[in-house]
Structure 1
Amino acid sequence: MYFSVRVLRRRKVRVFIAEARRRVFAILSKLPAICSCCIWRIQVATAMVESAAESEYGSPVAQPIDTLADLAGQKLLKSPVREFLEGSVPLPLNIEAKRPQLLVCHDYKGGYQEDKWVQGRKGMEGYVLWHWHLVDVFVYFSHSLVTIPPPGWINAGHKHGVPVLGTFITEWARGASVCRELLASAETCCMYASQLADLAYGLGFDGWLVNIENKVDTKDLPRLHLFLQHLRQCMHTLKPNSDVIWYDAVTDEGDLDWQNCLNEKNRSFFAVSDGLFTNYTWSEGMAKLSANAAGERNFEVYMGVDVFGRNTFGGGGFDCDKALKVAREGEVSAALFAPAWVYETNQPPSFEIAQSRWWSRIEDCWPIARCSPIALPFFTDFNRGCGTRVAVEGKEVSTQPWFNLSCQNLQPILKVIALSESPLEVSMSHEAAYSGGSCIKLTGSDDSQGLVLLYECNVPVKTREIHTSYCVHVDDQLHICIALIIHRESSRIVVLLVEEGSQVQVPSTLKNCVVQQATRKADLETLNSESNKWIVRKHVLELGICALSQIYAVTYSHELDVKKLISLVEDNTLTTRTLITDSVAGSKDPEILHGMLGHLRISTEREHDRELPNIVFEGCEPQWTQKSEAWKSVSLTLRWGLVQMHSSPGNCQWVQYHVYISKDGESRGCSVSRGDPEFLGVSVVKAFSVQDLLISSSCTMLNFHVQAHCTCGLPGALTAPCIVSNSNSNPSSHLDSDISGPVLNKHAV
């Protein structure tokens, strides 16, 4: 047994921070009056110190860079935890369209809140965005010098085809001092610009918002233009689809003078950047003036809208659509600053309802940004990046609430199209999950029939077969099936994917509808077990060369009227709703019926061999700490490699890893045998950090297992264990061939 000096230092730092914060706020509470801005800055500074301490001494966390020296020294690129800070999902190639763009600038309590925990955290509290289909550019913002997007936001954005930008900001007196150092010479400004580009490229995000919000010396202005120009050039060289966007604050004379539009005083910065993000206090005519000033680049002007409503046009809040309508009429783009206002201000009656209400007003006046999915294979479990449990193919492996944005899957549009006499509403539910932590819940009545638009897409299919699967809950009272809208040559076909033995009939007069029954029944033994409440339906379609354009969930209470269904598809201007109310969602009224949709998979290939991939552990360096006579803790980083990187000749890659643990020789507390591994967490890189994991002192050996999951949503085999021994002062790690599967976990880390 040995004590880790590193762990002891980490514990001392945490105790110091907690005590320092307690004393600071105790002093503040006794002061007669203090500026709210000062309190906010103290809170941000405290959070930054905590984040830095955790990163250096504990679990890997996302964090900003606060000095030019750290930027020049490539602090994060040389960090031993760099692999955890990188975005793991590449950005698909975007085909830029000549249309208004919507930029979302995420500013929530100074940044780096629940989203800083790169492996996720306990508890499902935290801001989540699920209206990605309306977003063209996402910016992660804080008031630190260099704000680097946490990998959860990079991964979530990229899964939806949205580029994610960081922020470079200088402010007030300190900012002026930083600018003098930054712009001291042509060499220094180009060096720092290159470092920013390397940082974005190395950590997997897509550019920068540059916000110089302080006066700049006149003599330094040429070098400020050079800095911006060089940053843009470096970014485009490293990432051709990247963006460098300039914020409207400093004029071409170096004055801090917000223009609120594009004009002669800031045109020179617009010329050497990819866009202008204007200040928020513009008036109605400035949108059109900006479009005229930009010429052919009119959609590269983003009219700023502060959702908090601080002197912003339209008033912000639920009236942000007023500003967006003016921007669109003026033929420019728009930038929404701090849409987490809905979450931060606790808008009633709940976050989901308020968020959906807020974004529905945006959707009513702004075009959908992109189609998703764009290619096969396609899988979604509708995971928003948080949940009250973790499930794998219908079996719960953890009952601990969690938050991890990297786990967010492609989010559905959830537009309800129903017959006016048939009430039907939709919500995202955490009360059950087939995979991840969420499912779609449909609520209706005894006569409900309608559609829920899940995805607008444009997926070319060039193979002979399409393989699909989806699942519904065993306790469903509403029937649910899937409808695919297929374009083949000059015809449009509705393909209904129904259960085996379904009596759904297509009238002979309808030539554009096909009913496909499931290929096999669900396994009744699995279906009736307490651990699995889902029925999986699988279909094989032989459609030939075609294109998939829309995906719907179809629901009905008794018999499906196919003729009425087709009329809904043809005319989706009928009654539409996108949100269920709390009263209906939780209703016990026997006349209220429910149905759940757990996942959806569409692929051109059959399911892969579940014995893949072959994972090889690369060892770890465990550090043990004796907590008491009865308990000790261990900290380590597991790393592994894949001998076989893919499951098939297709595009289904291994992208997510579930980590489990079992303990040998443990007799105190909650005993877990080798055959009963418990869920530890999820990683999207080939490494997993374990910090201060509490273990009974009688435990002599830990067995870590990893289970890879592919882009098709299918899990591979659970690995043989990586064994970490505590039988002497030199813990070891080796492989063992005894393999076992995951079960319900009550103690997730």
Structure 2
Amino acid sequence: MNPTRRTVLLAGATAALLPALSAQAAPKAAALQPYASYWYPDSLPSGTPGTGITWRSLKSWCPADDADLAFNASTVPLAARFTPTPANPTARADQARIQSLVSFGPTAGNPSQGSATADYYALTHWAYTDELVFWGGSSGEGLILAPNAPIVDAAHRHGVPVLGNIFLPPVAYGGQLQWTRDLVQKDAAGRYPLAERLVAVAAAYGFDGWFVNAETSGGNTSLGADMLGFLRELKALARAKGQRVTWYDSMTVNGSVSWQGALNSQNEAFFQAADDMFVDFRWTAAKLASSGERAAQLGRSRYELWAGADVEANGWNASVNWDAIVPRDKAHVVSVGFYRPEWTRNHLPADGRTPGDFHAADDRFWTGRSLDPSHPDGTDSWRAPAVSVADRSTVTSMPFASVFNTGHGLRWYEDGEVTSDAPWNHLGLQDRLPSRRWVVHTEGQRPAVTFDFADAWRGGSSVLVDGELDGPAVVEVYATRLPVTADTVVELIHRTDAGSVNVELAVATAEPTAPGATPPYTYIPVTTADSWQTSAVRLAGLSGTVHAIGVRLTPVDGGPVRWRLGGLAVRDATHTPAAPTALRVTAASGGDFRFAWNQAPGDVRHHTLHRLLPDGTRRFLGGTCQRAFFAGGLRPEQGEAEARFELRAVGELYTTSAPATVTHRW
């Protein structure tokens, strides 16, 4: 990569890294508001931290003293994935994969459990991603970042591991070589105590390992040897806990920082000590080819090398030699490492971007200009992941349900009614979403299919099919591996907003005959209405395994059709979760509250917290997968003497428990 692009990279990677900028950018911290955690390895900077910044030493961390751990710990286990028949003939199932380095927020002041805005990078295209790195770090705030729980919960539902980030910055951006020495310090027994501490943090917080990026120059061979010993011990300890370690191509074995853009003798030892390696942007086609060959000679997969693709500044307009990574006509060379794909949000005007604008851009990035992975646009210079990489799904067991919640919204809906008109984001509330968006099989005009935020059955969004239908159109919704029993029922919650259309549930019990082909669907009619309608269909006459679920829309009179899908469930029984117990206010300051509770036995998807107002209505305050929640900025209403709160457990089928209640006197 040329120096200009490197400068751009560093400037982006260290946004708000300089202490002065960090102090200005960080919000004033509410006393009780929990934030994502960040640390220095051991020694702290000189001086005092900026407003809203807390300097912490990882060496001093222990879970018993972590007051925000309950808010930051993921509760969703990493789901297993399968690969359905690819959506198109060029998508490979067993070759290149995708790693994404994403900055979801600042190092300091990044709320633990979402916030009151819909303007958020609500990543939904997990189906193409193999590893997510919680990118960030700052010389003025902290160098080691633990991903916050909503991101981990959403990723885990889709089978994607999430790594915390260790960023040792360049000297030009405040990096101090002492911090590198702190990270790799040894105890009297010759062990690396911070390797053990990092693994303990990941285990306590529920994420999947660490991305190690050592870019502070000035080291020597001795420091290089210490870093290699540290990395080997980190990997050994991580593997024992089911965690993983990724190395960034920066420091070389002699301790200097020299980005190679290849796997070679200068970084091979680090690659061997890690699970995989992000190859710096200086790569060329020849370097990647030799790197893949070298990995194979080491007995490693070439796809454990992520070739960096810098999309922070230009997104799908970035200049990437795709044939050097994922050629169309021969085996993929290595995997893809996206640096900052949140460009899909950030390039939109900050003063007017909407969730719909973001998802339109994000679909363009991941699916390509055609917006249909089964029909890629061959003239598109951007080789979207869906063109080269087969999607994957985690929908393998019942009960399964989705209300197509993307993890942010302009308001909150329950049973089609607004229970909070405040915008919000919380990725932990995101559903398992359709993996290939959006495949439409039709001989006629293709309708537009999008996540829509103007109305929803539950959460903040629904699926909207909108267009001039001149023939039947089959919209693929989920690739699944669900067993069919005598009691299996599929439920659709849907509504016709405009036009006249016949709706059929489409169910396939086998794979398509070829990539891109329509699954062998059986079509079952369902009733339609211009208000929310729940249609329950028993799969009588079908047996085996459900491989795909979709809907077929057939126009009655022609003309524009707007049809909305608000929910889908597959079940062979219903279950209502038991109520949580011991709901309590653990801290209160003005209108800011911390809540905690005990979860009842049994499966619980998440919890929702409502405020019961004096007029008897319920106002949604938020939801979380954790056993603790923060609500801020509350005030007495209508002269009430005490605030009343209700907490409910929500099951996988979106059935809700009886409430647990607590009051707080103002």
Bucket of the pairwise TM-score, normalised by the shorter protein: 0.7 to 0.9
**Residue deviations 1:216-270, cap 9 Å, x none?**
221222221111011111111112xx32011101111112111101011111111
1:89 pairs with 2:96: no
2:224 aligns with one of 221, 236, 242: 221
Aligned residue number for residue 482 of structure 1: 505
SS at 1:620 equivalent: strand
Aligned amino acid, residue 422 of structure 1: Q
Q: Distance in 1 between matches of 2:645 and 2:405?
A: 26
Q: Distance in 1 between matches of 2:265 and 2:285?
A: 19
Aligned amino acid, residue 646 of structure 2: H
1:608 pairs with 2:631: no
Aligned residue number for residue 700 of structure 1: 641
Residue 473 of structure 1 and its aligned partner are, at CA, apart by 1.3
Aligned residue number for residue 582 of structure 2: 617
Q: Distance in 2 between matches of 1:48 and 1:464?
A: 62
**Residue deviations 1:509-557, cap 9 Å, x none?**
xxxxxxxxxxxxxxxxxx99xxxx3100112224575122112222121
After superposition, residues 642-681 of structure 1 pair within 5 angstroms as 642-643=599-600, 645-646=601-602, 653-663=603-613, 672-673=614-615, 675-681=616-622
Aligned residue number for residue 378 of structure 1: 400
Residue 123 of structure 1 and its aligned partner are, at CA, apart by 2.2
2:473 aligns with one of 443, 450, 458: 450
Aligned residue number for residue 547 of structure 1: 545
Q: Distance in 1 between matches of 2:563 and 2:405?
A: 17
Residue 616 of structure 1 and its aligned partner are, at CA, apart by 1.8
1:394 aligns with one of 390, 413, 416: 416
Aligned residue number for residue 373 of structure 2: none
Aligned amino acid, residue 452 of structure 1: V
Aligned residue number for residue 149 of structure 1: 147
Question: Alpha carbons of 1:536 and 1:196: their partners in 2 closer, same or farther (altered >3 Å)?
Answer: same
Question: Alpha carbons of 1:544 and 1:448: their partners in 2 closer, same or farther (altered >3 Å)?
Answer: closer
1:593 pairs with 2:575: no
2:664 aligns with one of 714, 724, 732: 724
**Alignment check: 8 A CA contact 1:108 1:344 kept:** no
**Alignment check: 8 A CA contact 1:87 1:152 kept:** yes
SS at 1:654 equivalent: coil
Q: Report which stretch shifted further, 150-159 or 363-372.
A: 363-372
Aligned amino acid, residue 630 of structure 2: S
Residues matched between the structures, number: 594
Aligned residue number for residue 596 of structure 2: 639
Aligned amino acid, residue 233 of structure 1: A
1:494 pairs with 2:507: no
Aligned residue number for residue 302 of structure 1: 306
Q: Distance in 1 between matches of 2:20 and 2:236?
A: 33
1:54 pairs with 2:37: no
**Alignment check: 8 A CA contact 1:318 1:358 kept:** no
Question: Alpha carbons of 1:212 and 1:41: their partners in 2 closer, same or farther (altered >3 Å)?
Answer: same
Aligned residue number for residue 325 of structure 1: 326
Aligned amino acid, residue 532 of structure 2: W
After superposition, residues 157-556 of structure 1 pair within 5 angstroms as 157-173=155-171, 174-185=175-186, 190-215=192-217, 216-239=219-242, 242-295=243-296, 296-297=299-300, 298-308=302-312, 317=318, 321=322, 324-326=325-327, 329-346=331-348, 350-361=357-368, 362-412=384-434, 413-459=436-482, 461=483, 463-477=485-499, 478-487=501-510, 494-500=521-527, 533-542=531-540, 546-556=544-554
Residue 112 of structure 1 and its aligned partner are, at CA, apart by 6.4
**Residue deviations 1:659-713, cap 9 Å, x none?**
11235xxxxxxxx33x223222112222222334222594212211112211122
Q: Distance in 1 between matches of 2:466 and 2:653?
A: 28
Question: Alpha carbons of 1:83 and 1:38: their partners in 2 closer, same or farther (altered >3 Å)?
Answer: closer
Question: Alpha carbons of 1:272 and 1:77: their partners in 2 closer, same or farther (altered >3 Å)?
Answer: farther
Q: Distance in 2 between matches of 1:308 and 1:341?
A: 5
**Residue deviations 1:470-491, cap 9 Å, x none?**
1111535334332111139x9x
Which structure: greater helix fraction? 1
**Alignment check: 8 A CA contact 2:325 2:334 kept:** no
Residue 457 of structure 1 and its aligned partner are, at CA, apart by 2.8
**Alignment check: 8 A CA contact 1:291 1:330 kept:** no
Residue 418 of structure 1 and its aligned partner are, at CA, apart by 3.7
**Residue deviations 1:593-640, cap 9 Å, x none?**
2110001111232x224xx4133224325546xxxxxxxx34332222
Aligned residue number for residue 379 of structure 2: none
Q: Report which stretch shifted further, 415-424 or 42-51.
A: 42-51
Question: Alpha carbons of 1:146 and 1:286: their partners in 2 closer, same or farther (altered >3 Å)?
Answer: same
**Alignment check: 8 A CA contact 2:419 2:618 kept:** no
Q: Distance in 1 between matches of 2:484 and 2:468?
A: 40
Q: Distance in 2 between matches of 1:247 and 1:77?
A: 32
Larger gyration radius, structure 1 or structure 2? 1
Question: Alpha carbons of 1:485 and 1:170: their partners in 2 closer, same or farther (altered >3 Å)?
Answer: same
Aligned amino acid, residue 182 of structure 1: L
| Structure 1, unaligned runs of 5 or more | 1-34, 503-526, 560-589, 625-632, 647-652, 664-671, 727-749
1:133 aligns with one of 107, 121, 127: 127
1:78 pairs with 2:53: no
Q: Distance in 1 between matches of 2:462 and 2:310?
A: 33
After superposition, residues 569-580 of structure 1 pair within 5 angstroms as none
Aligned residue number for residue 41 of structure 1: 16
Q: Distance in 2 between matches of 1:499 and 1:141?
A: 46
Q: Distance in 1 between matches of 2:365 and 2:94?
A: 26
Residue 164 of structure 1 and its aligned partner are, at CA, apart by 0.7
Q: Distance in 2 between matches of 1:231 and 1:48?
A: 32
Q: Distance in 2 between matches of 1:258 and 1:43?
A: 22
| Structure 2, unaligned runs of 5 or more | 1-9, 44-56, 84-92, 369-383, 514-518
Aligned residue number for residue 21 of structure 1: none
Q: Distance in 1 between matches of 2:545 and 2:323?
A: 37
SS at 2:29 equivalent: helix
Question: Alpha carbons of 1:38 and 1:293: their partners in 2 closer, same or farther (altered >3 Å)?
Answer: closer
SS at 2:257 equivalent: coil
SS at 2:636 equivalent: strand
Question: Alpha carbons of 1:704 and 1:102: their partners in 2 closer, same or farther (altered >3 Å)?
Answer: same
Q: Distance in 1 between matches of 2:16 and 2:582?
A: 44
**Alignment check: 8 A CA contact 1:100 1:299 kept:** yes
Using the size of structure 1 for normalisation, the TM-score is 0.73
Question: Alpha carbons of 1:318 and 1:710: their partners in 2 closer, same or farther (altered >3 Å)?
Answer: farther
Q: Distance in 1 between matches of 2:190 and 2:67?
A: 27
**Alignment check: 8 A CA contact 2:636 2:642 kept:** no
SS at 2:285 equivalent: coil
**Residue deviations 1:700-745, cap 9 Å, x none?**
12211112211122222334x312234xxxxxxxxxxxxxxxxxxx
